[in-house]
Amino acid sequence: MISYRLINVSAVALAVAVTGATTGAQTVAITGGKVYPVSGPAIENGTVVITNGRITAVGTNVSIPAGAQRIDATGKIVTPGFVNSSTQLGVQEVSAVTDTRDAAARGKDNVAAAFTVWEGLNPNSVMLAPARKEGITSFVVIPTGGLIAGQAALLDVVPGTTTDMMIRAPVAMVAEIGDAQQAGLTSRGELIVKLREIFDDAKYFRTHRDAFDRAATRDFSASRLDLEALQPVLDGKLPLLLTVDRIRH
């Protein structure tokens, strides 16, 4: 679903966000604004019709259904809602206050592949309203810390519970090539070696589960839950998102 927002040209500030206003059996027509679609040129004096939460028409000569709620966007710019593709929105309130941070897991030896960060999300976070006001309509909440930080999720910025907000989970497995000491290692090269070892163990684990259950295998670099969580990555069903803090020359 693509949500549109309105921007006051003179103030360059958000005037109206249509996020969440189009849920349920309702039709909304945004009229008179300069519409910037996802692809194609801008549309002067355009109309966007949203029916039951989905955009059903965009253009200049658009028929507006009877009974539609009309929003006058004259003098404003109408754009699709922004997607924040990497954030701790909803799982971190105040970075300096431990009790408000739920973006990281300790894991085993800095490996927390089984960590599902969205289960700690606060749908009543005070940060959600400002994000919505500034045009963020969807976001990817990602875990942080360690070598493999855990799993990320895609959510909508709408009122309700985490279930109401959820679009898809998980959307990626997150690993970090950054601070080696934070991952319990001493160099960036060692981070990469350790990451390879973890995935080698995950491959071995998938064909030796019975032996693992009998405690008849060697020690692995990750826990059973983490090794299980990595299987969709090995199968190509879940992307591996690597975050890095510098480029090698």
pLDDT at residue 249 is higher than 70: no
Q: Quick one: average pLDDT of 86-100?
A: 84
Among the candidates 47, 80, 113, a domain finishes at 80
pLDDT value of position 100 = 77
| 133 vs 226, residue with greater confidence | 226
Indicate whether 121 and 192 sit together in one domain. Answer: yes
Return mean pLDDT, the chain: 86
Instruction: Tell me the residue range of the domain where 106 lies.
Output: 84-244
pTM for this predicted structure? 0.79
Please, which pLDDT band fits residue 3 given cuts at 50, 70 and 90?
A: low
pLDDT value of position 6 = 54
Indicate whether 96 and 193 sit together in one domain. Answer: yes
Indicate whether 72 and 96 sit together in one domain. Answer: no
Please, which pLDDT band fits residue 177 given cuts at 50, 70 and 90?
A: confident
Per-residue pLDDT of 113-172, as tens digits, reads: 999 999 999 999 999 999 988 889 999 999 998 899 999 999 999 999 999 999 999 999
* Residue type for position 193: V
pLDDT value of position 84 = 94
pLDDT at residue 241 is higher than 70: yes
Indicate whether 58 and 99 sit together in one domain. Answer: no
Is residue 168 a part of any domain in this protein?
A: yes
Indicate whether 99 and 184 sit together in one domain. Answer: yes
pLDDT value of position 38 = 84
Among the candidates 80, 106, 124, a domain finishes at 80
